[in-house]
Amino acid sequence: MLKVLFFAQTRELVGTEELQLDGEFSSAEAVRQHLAQKGDKWALALQQDKLLVAINQSLSPLESAVKNGDEIAFFPPVTGG
């Protein structure tokens, strides 16, 4: 089981802070693709080019491997000003 967290605008669009995800996923990208199929808001929130991912609280590329028990967080890039 994976623990998936959502932050900032991503959380607002999908309407939840976290979920538990059963299944075998090879990478954070596989998780992103699976969740993006849940509907239009999910697809918008999880657009690959507008998304960062952290695996077990470490910023990681979407192609990074994931395993059972991992925590995956999706969030938009941070901008300052």
pTM of the model: 0.93
Domain extent listing, the chain: 2-75
Mean pLDDT on 55-68? 97
5-61: pLDDT as tens digits: 999 999 999 999 999 999 999 999 999 999 999 999 999 999 999 999 999 999 999
In eight-state DSSP terms, residue 68 is: T
- Outline where 1-81 has alpha helix (H): 8-14, 28-36, 40-45
Between 81 and 37, residue with greater pLDDT: 37
Q: Is the pLDDT of residue 79 over 90?
A: no
**CATH superfamily for domain 2-75:** Beta-grasp domain (3.10.20.30)
* pLDDT surpasses 80 at 78: no
Strand, coil or helix: 24: coil
